[in-house]
Structures are given as C-alpha cells and as structure tokens.
C-alpha cells in the first residue's frame, strides 16, 4: 500500500511539474486576489511538495469562475488512494447522500448541487433513499442547512479544510463540532463537558481523549469505531454490534479496567432501552389519537408529506413542519431528547444523560399526555360514536396494532352494542 501511495505521489509530482507554469500563473494573480488562501497553500504540505492550484482545481478558469472548480474526492484520491477508499466505505462516505431526494423541481437550484447525487451527465442517482425533511426545504435551506454537513461524502475539505491541510485540523475534536452538534445530536457539546473533554482542555489529549481517539483508529477514515447502534438509536445486528463493542472496549482499556468500562457501556445500553420505551409509549398515544380522528389537524387536512401523502408518519421520515402540536412534541422527544439521553450516557456526560436527556423525555411525555387529554376533551362529543370506534379498530388492524382475531372480537362488541 505504501508502494502504491509512493507511486501516486510520483505521479502527482510529475503532474505538478507539467502544470508548474499554470500554478505560477495562478499565484501571480491570486497572491492579490485571495491572499490568505495562497498563504495557507504555500505553508501546506501541498504547497511545499509542489502540488499546485491546477492539480486540484483544473486549468479551465471559465469553469472555476462559475464555481465549478470544486475539488471532488476522486481528485484527492489520485494521490491519497487508501484514504479515499476507507472514506468511501465509511459512514461519512456511504449512504449520507441517501438522505436526499431529487430537488430539481425546487426553485433556485444550481447545477452544482446535482453533483452531490449524480455523476456529471448522468441522471442515475448514486443512492436510493430519500429524506422527507430535506424535500420540504427551499434550495437555500437545503444547501446551507442540510447539505452543509451531508456533503461530507463528496468533499474531503469538509474536514480537511481547503488550502491549509494541516493534520492539526483533523486531529482536533473541533473539526467534528461543526456537524456533530445541536439539538439533534450534540456529541461535541457533551464530549466537551465530559471528564474526557475537560481533561483534554486542561492537560491534553493523552489524558483526555478526543473524538478521534475513540471513534477513528490511527489515521483511519472509518468514523464509526465502537458505535453499536444505527443513527436512529436502534441496535445493529448482533454480530456487528459485538465486534464494535469489543473495538470500543479495546480503546477504553488504554486507561480503564475492563470491568469498569464494560459496566459503563452496559449502563448506556440499559439507558437506551428504557429511553426507547418512553418514546414508544408516546408514539402509541399519537397513533391512538389518529385512530380516533382527534389530531388537530388530521393528516388529511395538511399539505401532503413528500413521500407518503396524507398518511400519519412517525418513523424516521417524520416531519417537524405542517404537523400537529402533539406530533411536534413527539418529534422533539424522539429526535432530540432521546439522542441526548442515549449519546449522553455513552459519552459519560451526566448533565446530558439526566437533565438534557432523561428529564426532558419524561417532561415530553407529561406534555404529550396533557395535549392528548385536551384533544380528547375537545373531541368527547364525537369520539365515542360507533362509527369512530369502528374506524379506530380498522386503523389498528391495518398497521398491525391489533391481530385479526382481536379485531373481529372488538368489532363484534361495537356491533352488539348498536344492535341493543
């Protein structure tokens, strides 16, 4: 592999020689036009090693002027073949584009954006799934909100920066912060204020491990070391989960006794299970209200969901907009507070685990029950008619919440009541 990298470097250097004149030309102008970019490049390994502007951006200045000179991973991979390969097979490299849908019908789309999902000149998508929340956004929000992080698949500069490619950047936990933060997954915040993060701040990375030490091996681009769940907090298949747990325990063992580390992670598992149960309890309340026609507004009265029309959606394609108050409470519970509790526990941050997490989950449930009580009180006049009751039973049957025999039994009771 080293030999291969050597060859790639040699090839790159000969390319660099071929474009030496071009690079000198670039620098002549850009020393004035983009002085900090030039200074960063000159001080970088690229600059010192003779990898010039055109080696990455190409020589067609007209394309660059249209902002089409963006450097794609395969360009980086010409020299950094192993890094590209491990990136492409990592969570960062695979499947993130799967969160997107085709947005060419949205206003203001730029052709540049097409390349996140398609090879130039092709309409075949690189991936298959779609994200309902992404599809609801304007072009600008999709780019400045969603894609600003999700383009990690298609841009090495997401982590490595553009012209200052110092390894100090990617070895610093801050590099992870700009995406792994916020209400939906505040991994950076919870690490920063954990024992690990505070020791990192006071006495450095040897005593206080950062993101990279636990989740990336030395120099690896696999970013998921030790993570035993999906991004939705569901467990991975048993075999994979076991291998990942073993990998994490090997990292813990650098500092901690195995019994201690196992117990800490087992607590995380237990907290995940009990927290998911709270979410399921809330989900059941929302579905029951829908069965009885008590959501306000009901899905039929809303703008259609981009993938499912007028269905009620509470799975990973759930929206936070054009929904009812109780569903938006459920969105907060499932997407924000569950993540804070579970990830807080695995990151050994008590304030996230308990206060930002567990306490919020339980207060969400209080609020969801209260709103359900209000909606039931308001719908009391109509909710218990036989028609409503039969419709609710049918809904429960259709989504598998009632077995066919249970359904028949319950239905018969209602009909018997009518006959009396």
Residues 244-273 that bind its own copies (CB under 8 A): 253-257, 259-260, 263-264, 266-268, 270-271
Nearer to its own copies, 281 or 398 (CB): 281
Residue of the chain from 201, 243, 246, 418 that contacts its own copies (CB under 8 A): 201
Q: What share of the chain is helix, strand, coil (3-state, %, to 5)?
A: 65, 0, 35
**Six token digits for residue 201:** 């701040």
Is 145 an interacting residue with respect to its own copies (CB under 8 A)?
yes
**Six token digits for residue 337:** 């507070």
291 burial (CB, 10 Å; 0-12 / 13-18 / 19+) is buried
What is the rounded distance in angstroms from the CA atom of residue 361 to the CA atom of residue 178? 25
What is the rounded distance in angstroms from the CA atom of residue 345 to the CA atom of residue 248? 15
Nearer to its own copies, 375 or 393 (CB): 375
Is 166 an interacting residue with respect to its own copies (CB under 8 A)?
yes
Instruction: Choose the stretch contacting its own copies; rule: CB under 8 A; options: 77-85, 190-198, 283-291, 398-406.
Output: 190-198
What is the rounded distance in angstroms from the CA atom of residue 4 to the CA atom of residue 111? 35
Residue of the chain from 40, 187, 212, 228 that contacts its own copies (CB under 8 A): 40
Is 415 an interacting residue with respect to its own copies (CB under 8 A)?
no
Residue of the chain from 194, 212, 228, 396 that contacts its own copies (CB under 8 A): 194
Residue 289 dihedral angles phi and psi, to the nearest 5°: -65, -40
The closest of 292, 278, 277, 303 to 372, measured between CA atoms, is 292
Residue of the chain from 4, 24, 45, 203 that contacts its own copies (CB under 8 A): 203
What is the rounded distance in angstroms from the CA atom of residue 306 to the CA atom of residue 326? 20
Nearer to its own copies, 5 or 181 (CB): 181
What is the rounded distance in angstroms from the CA atom of residue 62 to the CA atom of residue 94? 32
Nearer to its own copies, 256 or 409 (CB): 256
The closest of 192, 137, 145, 86 to 319, measured between CA atoms, is 137
Is 188 an interacting residue with respect to its own copies (CB under 8 A)?
yes
Bridge partners, 229 (sequence order): 235
What is the C-alpha R_g of the chain?
Answer: 26
Binding-site size for its own copies (CB under 8 A) equals: 105
Is 359 an interacting residue with respect to its own copies (CB under 8 A)?
yes
Nearer to its own copies, 9 or 22 (CB): 22
Instruction: Choose the stretch contacting its own copies; rule: CB under 8 A; options: 60-68, 80-88, 96-104, 238-246.
Output: 60-68
Binders of its own copies among residues 363 to 392 (CB under 8 A) are: 363, 365-367, 369-371, 373-374, 377-378
Whether omega before 297 lies within 30 degrees of 0, making that bond cis, reads yes
What is the rounded distance in angstroms from the CA atom of residue 140 to the CA atom of residue 286? 32
Nearer to its own copies, 55 or 143 (CB): 143
Instruction: Choose the stretch contacting its own copies; rule: CB under 8 A; options: 20-28, 37-45, 214-222, 397-405.
Output: 37-45
Residue of the chain from 76, 135, 345, 393 that contacts its own copies (CB under 8 A): 345
Quote the least distance from Cβ 213 to its own copies, whole Å.
Answer: 9
Is 28 an interacting residue with respect to its own copies (CB under 8 A)?
no
Is 169 an interacting residue with respect to its own copies (CB under 8 A)?
yes
């Amino acid at each position: 592999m080293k030999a291969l990298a050597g060859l790639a470097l040699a090839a790159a250097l000969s390319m660099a020689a071929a474009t030496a004149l071009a690079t000198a030309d670039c620098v002549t102008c850009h020393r004035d036009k983009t002085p900090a970019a030039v200074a960063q490049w000159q001080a970088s390994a690229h600059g010192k090693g003779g990898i010039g502007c055109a080696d990455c951006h190409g020589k067609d200045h007209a394309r660059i002027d249209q902002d089409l000179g963006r450097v794609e991973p395969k360009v980086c991979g010409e020299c950094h073949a192993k890094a590209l390969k491990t990136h492409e097979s990592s969570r960062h490299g695979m499947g993130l584009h799967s969160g997107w849908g085709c947005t060419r019908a949205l206003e203001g789309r730029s052709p540049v954006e097409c390349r996140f999902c398609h090879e130039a000149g092709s309409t075949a998508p690189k991936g298959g799934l779609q994200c309902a929340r992404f599809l609801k956004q304007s072009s600008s929000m999709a780019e400045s909100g969603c894609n600003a992080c999700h383009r990690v698949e298609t841009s090495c500069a997401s982590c490595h920066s553009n012209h200052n490619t110092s390894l100090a950047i990617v070895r610093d936990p801050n590099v992870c912060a700009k995406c792994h933060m916020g209400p939906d997954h505040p991994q950076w915040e919870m690490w920063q204020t954990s024992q690990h993060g505070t020791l990192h701040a006071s006495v450095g990375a040897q005593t206080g491990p950062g993101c990279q030490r636990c989740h990336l091996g030395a120099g690896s681009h696999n970013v998921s070391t030790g993570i035993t769940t999906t991004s939705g907090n569901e467990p991975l298949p048993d075999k994979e989960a076991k291998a990942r747990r073993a990998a994490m325990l090997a990292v813990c063992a650098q500092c901690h006794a195995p019994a201690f580390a196992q117990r800490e992670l087992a607590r995380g598992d237990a907290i995940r299970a009990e927290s998911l149960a709270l979410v399921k309890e809330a989900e059941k309340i929302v579905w029951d209200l829908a069965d009885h026609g008590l959501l306000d507004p009901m899905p039929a009265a809303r703008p259609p969901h981009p993938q499912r029309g007028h269905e009620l959606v509470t799975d990973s394609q759930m929206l936070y907009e054009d929904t009812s108050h109780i569903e938006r409470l459920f969105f907060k519970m499932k997407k924000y507070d569950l993540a804070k509790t579970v990830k807080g526990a695995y990151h050994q941050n008590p304030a996230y685990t308990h206060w930002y997490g567990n306490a919020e989950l339980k207060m969400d449930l209080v609020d969801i029950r209260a709103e359900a009580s209000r909606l039931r009180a308001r719908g009391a006049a109509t909710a218990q008619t036989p028609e409503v009751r039969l419709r609710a039973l049918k809904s429960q049957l259709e989504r598998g919440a009632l077995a066919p025999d249970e359904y028949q039994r319950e239905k018969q009771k209602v009909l018997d009541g009518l006959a009396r």
